Structure 1
Amino acid sequence: MKEGDTGETGAMRVVFVEVVKEELDRNPNLAVVTADISASAFDKARAQYPDRVVNVGIREQTMIGVAGGLALAGLRPVVHSYAPFLVERPFEQIKLDLGHQEVGAVLVSIGGSYDDPVWGRTHQAPGDVALIDSLPGWTVHVPGHWAEVEPLLRKALADDNRVYMRLSTRSNAESVSTSAGFAAVRQGKDGVVIAVGPVLDQVLAAVSTLDVTVLYASTIRPFDHFGLLTAARAASPNIVLVEPYLRGTSAHEVSNALVSMPHRLLSLGVERDTEPHAYGTPEDHDRIHGLHAEGIAQAVGTFLA
């Protein structure tokens, strides 16, 4: 995509497909595995590289198993689907065929927690990062803008580790640096607010009248312990964690970062005790979970008060 484009629906996935197609031509060790979803985007590449671009049909466990086999054979597999079909359904295969075998792969999801609520609960996965986080050795990227996808993805493709990249159809208005660790997008003295991926715009709107530091992360694993500790020392040990997935997923990382400093923590995200049964829009689900600007503002204001 060209500089100046906006983060329209599907832009992150467009960048993902374009980059992977380019790398397939450049890197003979790169492979792609799909389970019907987005398989048509790789039709031409599949015809050109039938041994390295594989569509297994609607068999998500097989998709991860094939990726594990390709990795054991020395290839670098890229696996793509909706988050629940990529992480939740084949979780045992992720644990065993990749992690326990100690081989690498790049898992790239789309759909976020509830980007497409019209499809119902089957296409929603707010617990995906928490599941990946239960396994050792994973890097987790949560880009908040299409321009952040390419540098994170190219680095992942060039490595041999295990990477989970969580793409979304939702986007911040502008991209932020994807360098390792937190990027400080605002400085203040009354607390530190961590915004992960595509929630940054809502966070900035919510704290516009508050004197707080805002840290942004497009890479949440490994967690930037030193960056948070430095920001908390410069501001105040009142920490607000805003994640676009299960509330409190990174709470233990905040505690580890600030183990030497008494602190207070407010975790915001998709609620654990709420199970919406209405489809609605992503914005409707934001309101249900308090992840819209007004909900974040109320929660943060009460916490700091």
Structure 2
Amino acid sequence: MSAPGTSAGPDLDMRTRFYAELDPLLDAHPDLDVVLAVIGAARLARVADRHPGRVVDVGIREQAMIGVAGGLALTGRRPVVHTYAPFLVERPYEQLKISLGHQDVGAILVSIGASFDASAAGRTHQAPADVALVAALPGWTVHVPGHPDEVAALLHAEAGRSGRAYVRLSGQRNERPRPTDGRVHLVRDVADGPGAGAGAAPLVLAVGPMLDTVLAATADLPVRVAYTATPHPLDAVGLRRLAGSTPALAVVEPYLEGTSAAAVAAALADRPARVVHVGVPRDVELRRYGSPDDHAAAHGLDVAGVRRRVETLVARRVGSPSSGRKSELPT
């Protein structure tokens, strides 16, 4: 996948790639503005100099940041709003609901921090419920890219639209980019065996940066693996096509477990489906520090944890859930 609008290399992390794309985005879209609350301001100083008045730092005032974005949108501007996920979604949630949603104006929200990228910063910087909260508001599209190239593609696509979009950046990434067309794509198939019908093998849907973990966790399991970078609204047609008539499905998301449950249930409402949702558990709050990998392992989102959950979909257990895979996280 080529990088639109910039020569920035795919070796950049998602956050750095986002910053690198803003200059060409502002060049290409005269109606675009960037609204910050301190986070990112220093790294965008040159962009602000090149585009006077179009990079606005409101200070540590996240509610005001969304209000300013809503005001800009009401005048016909297209704001790109950026900070850590809990300060972009949870703290100003009422402003998302009123200043953007109730006014029915568009904006592009771009978060960093994911669920626990800033694990050493403590619970204040963690937001595993962010996607569920945004998806609860009408009219939003949620993108969860799995690679820096996907970040670039999604940003350039949304800059040319008028709706409300949330782009969730993560420190975790897949080795290679995948399509960003909003659809569910089959990544790995299996031979279902003689006489087996379509969809006979269980399907594992990986969202965004969970794909490489899912591929490693299921390498020797008789399951198919699919991918999407846009979990909301979910590609119901694509999911139904891949799931088959009697689906066994696991949905692996890097945020609150079951966030996509309602959309999956609606897509498969007429089928006797067995569904396992894998994500950050709703009844667990980690109250100690550690690395992002430590948090992933504690929440069952590492290779071993995902494997244990997916194994419940297959007819027999394959191998040992702890067969040395705990440390096999993708780089």
1:221 equivalent in structure 2: 232
Work out the CA distance in 1 between the residues paired with 2:251 and 2:112.
Answer: 23
What is the CA distance between 1:183 and its match in structure 2?
Answer: 1.3
What is the CA distance between 1:298 and its match in structure 2?
Answer: 1.2
- After superposition, the C-alpha distances for 1:228-282 in whole angstroms (9 at most, x for unaligned) are 1111117x51110100000000011110110111101100000110011111011
Mind listing any 5+ residue stretches in structure 2 that lack a counterpart?
1-5, 191-199, 316-331
Work out the CA distance in 2 between the residues paired with 1:202 and 1:160.
Answer: 34
- After superposition, the C-alpha distances for 1:57-105 in whole angstroms (9 at most, x for unaligned) are 0000000000000000110000000000000000000000000000000
Q: Secondary structure at the match of 1:220?
A: coil
Work out the CA distance in 2 between the residues paired with 1:27 and 1:269.
Answer: 36
Instruction: Summarize the alignment of residues 11-50 of structure 1 with structure 2, pairs less than 5 Å apart.
Output: 11-50=13-52
Mind listing any 5+ residue stretches in structure 1 that lack a counterpart?
none
Instruction: Summarize the alignment of residues 257-296 of structure 1 with structure 2, pairs less than 5 Å apart.
Output: 257-296=267-306
2:193 equivalent in structure 1: none
Work out the CA distance in 2 between the residues paired with 1:72 and 1:49.
Answer: 21
The structure with the larger Rg is 2
2:79 equivalent in structure 1: 77
8 Å CA contact 1:213–1:231 kept in 2: the answer is no
Indicate which of 233, 236, 254 corresponds to 2:264.
254
Comparing both structures, which one devotes a greater share of its residues to helix?
A: 1
Work out the CA distance in 1 between the residues paired with 2:8 and 2:112.
Answer: 22
1:208 equivalent in structure 2: 219
CA 1:154–1:3: 2 relative to 1, 3 Å: closer
Q: Secondary structure at the match of 2:295?
A: helix
Range with greater deviation from structure 2 (58-67 or 184-193): 184-193
CA 1:263–1:122: 2 relative to 1, 3 Å: same
Work out the CA distance in 2 between the residues paired with 1:107 and 1:3.
Answer: 21
1:191 equivalent in structure 2: 202
Q: How many residues align?
A: 301
Give the letter aligned to residue 76 of structure 1. Answer: R
Give the letter aligned to residue 123 of structure 1. Answer: H
TM-score, structure 1 length as denominator? 0.95
Indicate which of 125, 130, 140 corresponds to 1:123.
125
Give the letter aligned to residue 94 of structure 2. Answer: E
CA 1:79–1:3: 2 relative to 1, 3 Å: closer
Q: Secondary structure at the match of 2:22?
A: helix
What is the CA distance between 1:289 and its match in structure 2?
Answer: 0.9
Instruction: Summarize the alignment of residues 173-188 of structure 1 with structure 2, pairs less than 5 Å apart.
Output: 173-188=175-190
What is the CA distance between 1:15 and its match in structure 2?
Answer: 1.6
Is 1:157 matched with 2:159?
A: yes
Indicate which of 49, 52, 55 corresponds to 2:54.
52
Is 1:93 matched with 2:104?
A: no
8 Å CA contact 2:22–2:47 kept in 1: the answer is no
8 Å CA contact 2:8–2:17 kept in 1: the answer is no
2:310 equivalent in structure 1: 300
2:324 equivalent in structure 1: none
TM-score, structure 2 length as denominator? 0.88
CA 1:125–1:61: 2 relative to 1, 3 Å: same
Give the letter aligned to residue 25 of structure 2. Answer: E
8 Å CA contact 1:193–1:241 kept in 2: the answer is yes
Q: Percent identity?
A: 51
Work out the CA distance in 2 between the residues paired with 1:84 and 1:155.
Answer: 25
What is the CA distance between 1:160 and its match in structure 2?
Answer: 0.6
What is the CA distance between 1:219 and its match in structure 2?
Answer: 1.1
Work out the CA distance in 2 between the residues paired with 1:133 and 1:122.
Answer: 21
Q: Secondary structure at the match of 1:45?
A: helix
Work out the CA distance in 2 between the residues paired with 1:238 and 1:48.
Answer: 52
